Chains A and B, each alone.
Chain A
Amino acid sequence: MILLQLFISYLKIGFFGFGGGYAMLSLIQNEVVMQHGWMSNAEFADIVAVSQITPGPIAINSATYVGYTVGSQAGGLWMGLLGALTATFAVCLPALTLMLLITRFFLKLRNNPIVEGAMQGMRPVVIGMIASAALLLIFPHGSDPGERNFIDAWSWLLFGGVFIGAWRKVNPIVLIVLSAAAGILIY
């Protein structure tokens, strides 16, 4: 049952999405590209690019997009809408319930050494997860050319340019739009 799979996958992504947007990329990639094969590595990069230039958190954007794509492949437009709703609802559910719990027990959790310990332990892992998302986008597992995001020297040149821009805190929307324009000029 595809809707149930979508629900469980995005519930997991929502529940373990510690460390915000970029850290969630690795979880989404692991579920959507590696475990279920719902989209290719290149498609995943595309949805990240679309997320950067559209409003809203990447977790929600990817849930809606993947839910729609997977659903519509299984049973047309309505199934796609249902898939989008299911995945988006699933990814929000943990944030809603956990934040309500935290808000109710607000003061007790603050400065709790156990909670702080868990956070401290997860911090380096979250950075490693972001790194793995980048590594997988650069070096995918399969040898299928459709999986590759770096196709020639131009790709690396664009990578370098955007890296310098992002390092100097240029707005990511500007960088994505510029690289799209560069893509149109080059290819």
Chain B
Amino acid sequence: MRPLFTLFWSFFKIGIFTFGGGYAMIPLIRREVIDRRGWIAERDFLDLLTLAQSAPGPISLNTSVFVGYKMRGYAGAVASILGVVVPSFVIILLIALLFADIRYNPLVDAAFKGMRPAVVALIVVPVISLARGMHPALYIVIALTAVAVWYLGWSPVWILAGAAAAGILHALYHLPKKKELINKKCEPDETERPPRKEEHR
């Protein structure tokens, strides 16, 4: 029970101190999981981040499942994910309970009128910084997606599925060339390895 509680507690702390979520929590996760607990190695952390970002869902949830499972199997994964979820669940529930009463308070209303355009600005900034590194031809895809979801009201789910399928087709089309390259690179390696092992013995 004890190690499960440690997992829960570590991710509870991560859950409670990460405002805004996402990339802001990476340094915190790193400190808790690598520096304090030594649960995973430094070089595995980068792999973990890549995985957590490529799987759907919030990065913090994905990271907690990965670390929890590595440490204590399925029970560990559940303990860790609960650690991330419980703080935000409780806090938001309290806010939702109070919000109904204070919603029409003029002061609260004025504060939200100020925050709404601020939220939009916070969303626009990552669009620009993410798009900057992209191939110009992909700007058309970005624009078409934005218009389809915003103006035409298409569900992003279908566009995502279509884009994934297009990406896979593109990868399959280029696959034979890549495989040849990989095989060429791998062959000499494999012939070199056995003698090395013998040297160590």
Contacts and interface: CB of A to CB of B under 8 A. Distances in A.
Contacts of A103: 51, 65-66, 69-70
B1 interface: no
B123 A175 contact: no
A113 B119 contact: no
B47 interface: yes
A137 B166 CA distance: 29
Interface string B73-96: 010011001001101110111011
B142 A162 contact: no
B167 A27 contact: no
Interface residues of A, number: 109
B115 A121 contact: no
Interface string A125-148: 111111111111111010000000
Contact of B66 (A30, A80, A99, A162): A99
A145 B26 CA distance: 39
Interface stretch (B29-37, B170-178, B184-192, B193-201): B170-178
Report whether over half of chain A's contact residues are helix, strand or loop; otherwise say mixed: helix
B27 interface: no
Interface residues of B, number: 98
Contact of B92 (A14, A42, A65, A132): A65
Contacts of A24: 58
Interface in B85-129: 85, 87-89, 91-93, 95-97, 100, 107, 109-128
B27 to A, nearest CB: 13
Contacts of A118: 164-165, 167-168, 171
A55 B15 contact: yes
Nearest to A187: B110
Contact of B122 (A12, A46, A127, A175): A175
Contacts of A75: none
Interface string A61-103: 1001100110010000000110010001001101110111011
Contacts of B113: 151, 155, 183, 186-187
B168 A60 contact: no
Which of B77, B115, B178 has the most chain A CB within a 10 Å cutoff? Answer: B115
Contacts of A64: 88-89, 92-93, 96
Contacts of A37: none
Contacts of B23: 20
Contacts of B119: 45, 48-49, 52, 137, 149, 176
B157 interface: yes
A186 B114 contact: yes
A114 B168 contact: yes
A16 B157 contact: yes
Contacts of A30: 149, 153, 155-156
Given A54-B92, A58-B21, A132-B145, A186 B110 contact: yes
Nearest to A125: B163
Contacts of B84: 56-57, 60
A100 B75 CA distance: 12
Given A128-B141, A172-B20, A159 B121 contact: yes
Given A100-B65, A134-B124, A137-B119, A56 B56 contact: no
B170 A117 contact: yes
20 contacts: A22-B126, A30-B156, A45-B115, A50-B95, A51-B21, A56-B91, A56-B92, A57-B59, A92-B81, A95-B61, A98-B56, A102-B51, A122-B160, A124-B163, A129-B160, A130-B126, A149-B116, A149-B117, A175-B118, A187-B113
